[in-house]
Amino acid sequence: MQPVRGPEQTLTFRPRILLADESMRPTRAEIDLDAVAHNLRILRALSAPARVLAVVKADAYGHGVVPVALRLEQEGVSGFGVALAEEGLELREAGVRAPILVLNGVYGDAHVDVLEAGLTPVVYDLAQVEAFERAAGERRVQVHLKIDTGMGRLGVPLRRLPSFLDAMARHPRCHVVGLMTHLSSADSDDDATSEQLERFAEARAQVLRAGHPVATVHVANTAATLRRPDARFDMVRPGGALFGVQPTPEDGLELRPALRLRTEVIALRDLEPGEFVGYDRTFVARRPTRIATVPLGYGDGLLRGLSGCGEMLVRGLRAPIAGRVSMDLTTLDVTDVPGCACGDEVVVVGSQRFEERHATIRAEEVAARAGTIGYDVLTSISRRVPRVHLGG
């Protein structure tokens, strides 16, 4: 502990790691690295001969990027996709040596850092190409070119590709070694996907005609990896599937959810009919009701939209969230959970076994209740929640 001198007093500064110390509170996210490795194997077998680039942006979808990436590297993953240069630098600092693709491009002035760390940038406008040309020095810069085939966010629009390729010819240090696009609706609209793939084929032909040595073509996110063999090309880019999140349940693969968010009951009270629970008194007891309080709320990333409509597992049974989710605490109606006691484990996402009972709440189910998607549930889990990595 370091003493910190304030203007009038000496404070004792506790390193912030204690905030996320699993010994301090019963709320934690357990990440099963064996499940991640298992999911990688399934995706590899499905996609071969295409390689798998593991998308681990946003702290590996909330799973804690460094342990996840180190394990995937051990499993021989072909590379990693991150959204931001900073995310790539974090992986390099942690000792990851596999190729790292910066999917959303490099902005700001990180270009030299990106090259020195051996990250591979995605480019989609000339300003980026110029910046890398300046940062290159004597280096040869390998980039992946992103085409906008209908997502409408990032990428060179098809109609501007000829002039973009002409301009690229004036930047001899930058070499387009990869070509990519991103699909808007791979889990929901096959026609839209086909349309995007047609545009991509046209872009690919133009890029090859312009003489770029494109070695790696990649398009498929999780949904396309699972559902569209024609989108797999040389490499697939799944993120969600690695963590066991499936766009549609009928995909039928044995993907294993990798994250289990758990806490414990810290208080219990019995309400008479007519008594209320929580902010704004949105829950009123209609019968003699037992309420359990758990130390986790929207400050931990539990979606506030679950107020009054979510469920958690206690003793292998589903207990509804009673009233509002607040910042640090949530209340459950455990009237129908016989024997519920302080210290009982509560599972927010994941599976629970209790005696002969076994129950599961998947991230996708939580998401549906809150009107969002599974990725939102997982990436929302805040840094206040310790990640405990289990397995291999």
Ligand X SMILES: Cc1ncc(COP(=O)(O)O)c(C=O)c1O
Confirm or reject binding of residue 361 to ligand X (CB under 6 A): no
Window contacting ligand X (CB under 6 A); options: 4-12, 113-121, 130-138, 234-242: 234-242
Q: Which of residues 160-199 bind ligand X (CB under 6 A)?
A: 182
What separation in angstroms does the CA of 246 have from each of 21, 61, 350, 356?
A: 30, 13, 14, 28
Cα(235)–Cα(225) distance, integer angstroms: 10
Least Å distance between CB 382 and ligand X?
20
Nearest one of 223, 240, 226 to 188, comparing CA atoms: 223
Q: Which of residues 122-141 bind ligand X (CB under 6 A)?
A: none
Cβ closest to ligand X, residue 100 vs residue 312: 100
Confirm or reject binding of residue 374 to ligand X (CB under 6 A): no
Least Å distance between CB 293 and ligand X?
34
Cα(328)–Cα(325) distance, integer angstroms: 8
Least Å distance between CB 339 and ligand X?
40
- Contact pick of 221, 289, 331, 335 for ligand X (by CB under 6 A): 221
Q: HSE of 316 in the Cβ direction (CA atoms, 13 Å)?
A: 8
**Catalytic residue positions?**
57, 279
Number of residues that this document lists for the chain = 392
Confirm or reject binding of residue 150 to ligand X (CB under 6 A): no
Torsions phi, psi for 115 (to 5 deg): -70, -40
Q: Please, are residues 312 and 266 in contact by the beta-carbon 8 Å criterion?
A: no
Cα(33)–Cα(69) distance, integer angstroms: 10
Cβ closest to ligand X, residue 278 vs residue 374: 374
- Contact pick of 237, 315, 324, 362 for ligand X (by CB under 6 A): 237
- Contact pick of 222, 307, 330, 352 for ligand X (by CB under 6 A): 222
What separation in angstroms does the CA of 62 have from each of 50, 58, 67, 342?
A: 26, 6, 12, 28
Alpha-carbon dihedral sign for residues 260, 263, 264, 268: negative
Least Å distance between CB 247 and ligand X?
7
State the residue for tokens 């298992």.
38
Window contacting ligand X (CB under 6 A); options: 15-23, 85-93, 227-235, 238-246: 238-246
Cα(374)–Cα(246) distance, integer angstroms: 9
Q: Which of residues 71-90 bind ligand X (CB under 6 A)?
A: 81
Confirm or reject binding of residue 55 to ligand X (CB under 6 A): yes
Window contacting ligand X (CB under 6 A); options: 67-75, 105-113, 232-240, 355-363: 232-240
- Interacting residue ranges for ligand X, rule: CB under 6 A: 55, 81, 103, 182, 221-222, 237-241
